[in-house]
Amino acid sequence: MASIFGHAALGFGLSKISQKKTTGTIILLCIFCTVIPDADVLMFFFGVPYESAFGHRGFTHSIFFALDLGLLISLLFCRKKNYSIQKRIGFFLLFFICTLSHGLLDAMTTEGGLGVAFFFPFDNSRYYFPFRPIRVSPIGVSGFFSKWGLAVLKSEAIWIGIPSLVLVIIRMIINFFTKKETEKDLLSSQK
């Protein structure tokens, strides 16, 4: 699996690209959606085997789960707000993509595990992508204080951190040019 740091970095990047102005709540919800699928590691404590549909990289890493969580978070987030249907759909898509990104990143990790059950509940087969440049993360904090942990963080900086930073820079550029156009329109309307 990718680490919580890698997933959170992508959640932050996705939150920034999604809107002109991103609130702290949206950033936190995006990060939550990107990291929560790994709550399934708690199933190890209940004796659920890894290869079970409810084991690690099973149900919570599926497209089905991403759809459900995206819908739930968007409904809760929008429930007391008077957003248009387009805005509500936009929030659903954002939270869905953030949640789905977790399984996508995990399917790009090197050695370890059985892959990701993308198609649960219809199929519990596990999948990896052919392109797997992200070093698999240790489970637990202590593993990051080792050569392995440092190699994971370096790998994620390259394959997750830089693309996430690019998303933030793209949003900054869009905001800059949008602001310039708005200022130009405002000046021409005052003449």
pLDDT tens-place values along the chain, 191 residues long: 788 899 999 999 999 887 777 788 999 999 999 999 998 988 888 999 888 889 888 899 999 999 999 999 999 998 888 888 999 999 999 999 999 999 999 999 987 678 999 999 999 999 999 999 999 887 777 777 788 888 899 999 999 999 999 988 988 898 888 876 666 665 666 65
The length of the chain in residues reads 191
Encoding tokens for residue 155? 């790998």
- Do residues 63 and 48 touch, judged by C-beta distance below 8 A? no
What is each CA distance from 180 to 7, 119, 143, 172, 174, in whole angstroms? Answer: 33, 45, 48, 12, 10
Residues 184 and 177: their CA atoms lie apart, in Å, by 10
Residue 184: the pLDDT is 63
Q: State the DSSP code for 41.
A: G
Residue 188: the pLDDT is 63
Residue 165: the pLDDT is 93
Residue 79: the pLDDT is 87
Amino acid at position 17, single letter? I
Helix (H, G, I), strand (E, B) or coil at 109: strand
Whether this model's pTM surpasses 0.85:
yes
Residues 127 and 120: their CA atoms lie apart, in Å, by 11
Encoding tokens for residue 39? 């709550």
What is each CA distance from 70 to 62, 88, 152, in whole angstroms? Answer: 12, 11, 28
Residue 145: the pLDDT is 77
Residue 98: the pLDDT is 97
Residue 187: the pLDDT is 60
Residue 177: the pLDDT is 85
Residue 189: the pLDDT is 63
